Amino acid sequence: MLFHYIASDKRETVVEGDLDAPDLNHVLQFLSAKELRPVSVKPIKELRAQVQPLFGKINISDKVFLTKYLSLMLKVGTDLMSAINILIADFDKPSMKMFLIEVRNNLSRGLPFYQAFARYPQVFSAVMVNLIKAAEASGNLQRTFEDMSTSLEKESELRKRVKSALIYPIILLVVGTSIFIFLSLFALPRIAKVFLDSGIKPPTFSRIVFGVGLFVGDHSIALLVGFIILGILAYLILGRTESGRRFLRRFLAHLPIIRNIYRDLAVQRFASTFSLLLRAGLPIIQATKITADVVGLDELRVALIRIADDGLAKGLTIGEAFRREPDFPRVVTNLVAISEKAGHLEDVLGTLADFYASNIDASVRQVVAFIEPALLLVMGILVATIALAIIVPIYQLTSQF
C-alpha cells in the first residue's frame, strides 16, 4: 500500500514524499530510521477519494494520446519532464491537465514516475501501472509507451466496432419500449373505459388486455418510481460492489447467446495483456498474476493463478503449465508451448489477440443479426395483441346491428 507522509527533520525542514509499505508501522519505522518526525501519514487511497471524481473523466482516447505522445517525444530525444510540460500546455481537458501537473510535481520531488498513475486505479489499470514501473526501472519507457499506445488503440477500435454493431438493436428496443409505454399509459386505458362504461362485455382476451392497461394507467406513477428505484439499486449492487460485479460476470458468462463471446473476450484480454507485460520485461510469474486480474472470467483467472503458483513457481515451463489447464482453448495452449520453444512468445500472443478481436467482432455481428428480427417480432406481437384486443370487441359491436 502506498502512503503519503509529511515529516520534519532536526532543522524543522518539512519533508514530503510517498512510500510503498505494508502498513502504517513500517512507515513510522522508516521515518524514525531517517531521523524524521512525522507530521501527517495517510494512505494514498484517502487522497485518491478526494480527487477521484475529477480524474474519473479520463477516457481511453486520452490515454491513447498520452502514451503515443510520450513515446514520440522520448523517441526524438526529449526528456520526460520537458515532454510532460509540453503536454500540460497542450491539453485543454481539466482532468488530464491536473493529472499531468501531479506527475510533474512528483518528478520534481524525485518520486518514481509510475506512482502518480498508481494513485488512480479506477482510471489506470494495474497492467498500465506495472508496465510503466518496469519500463522506468529498465530505462525502456519509449518502447513501452509505444506498445501501450498500440494496445490501447486496438482496444478502443474493438469497443467502437462492438458499440456500432449494437446501435440499431438499441434503437429498436427504445422505440418498441416507447410504443408499449404510450399504448399502456394513454391509448389502452381510454379505450378500455369506453367499452366498460358503455356496458358492453368484451371477450375474455380483450378484458385481460384492458385490465392490464387500466392497471398500468392507474398506477403509472408508482410503477415509474418502482422501476427507477430498481434501476438505482441494480446499479449500486451490480455496478459498484465487487460481489455484484462478480455475479454479473458469472451471469453473462453463462448466457447461451453471448457465452462464447464473453469467453473469447477473456482470451483476447489474456493474450493482449500477457504479450504486453512480457515485452516490458516483467518476470513471468508476476506477469501471469497481473494478467489474471484483468481477464474478466473467473475460470481463466483461477487457471492463471494456478499456472503461476503451481506451475511456473515449481519449475515447469510455460507450455507445460498451460497444457495442464483445461479451461484454456487447446489452440491457445498449443501456440503458447510452440512459440515458447521458438523464442517468440510475445509476438505469437499479439497475433493471437488480433485473431480473437476479429472473431469477437464477427460473433457480435452474428448475435446482432439474430437480435434485430427477434426485437421486431416482439414489437409486432405487442402491437398486434393490443390491436386485436381493440378490434375484436368493435367487430362484435358492429355485427349486432
Listed residues 111, 130, 149: the one ending a domain: 149
Q: Are 39 and 61 part of one and the same domain?
A: no
- Percent of all residues in the chain with a pLDDT value above 70, rounded to a whole number: 93
- Sheet of 37-43, strands arranged across: 14-20, 2-8, 37-43
Helix axis angle for 80-90 and 60-75, nearest 10°, is: 140
pLDDT value of position 229: 93
Please say if the pLDDT value at position 296 is more than 70.
yes
CATH number of residue 65's parent domain:
1.20.81.30
119 within 8 A of 142, measured Cβ to Cβ:
no
Q: Are 63 and 28 part of one and the same domain?
A: no
Q: Are 65 and 166 part of one and the same domain?
A: no
Task: Quote the Cα angle for 95-98-102, to 5°.
Answer: 135
Q: Are 326 and 181 part of one and the same domain?
A: yes
pLDDT value of position 306: 92
Strand pairing category for 2-8 and 37-43: antiparallel
Based on the structure, what is the number of domains in the chain?
A: 3
Q: Which domain holds residue 100?
A: 45-149
Q: Are 238 and 370 part of one and the same domain?
A: yes
Listed residues 124, 149, 174: the one ending a domain: 149
As a whole number of angstroms, the distance between CA 259 and CA 247 comes to 15
Longest dimension (CA), the chain: 107
pLDDT value of position 55: 47
Q: Are 73 and 180 part of one and the same domain?
A: no
* pTM for the full predicted model: 0.71
Other CB atoms within a 10 A radius of the CB of residue 13 amount to 9
Please say if the pLDDT value at position 300 is more than 60.
yes
At residue 8, the 3 state secondary structure works out as strand
pLDDT tens for 231-265 read 898 888 877 777 777 787 778 777 777 888 888 88
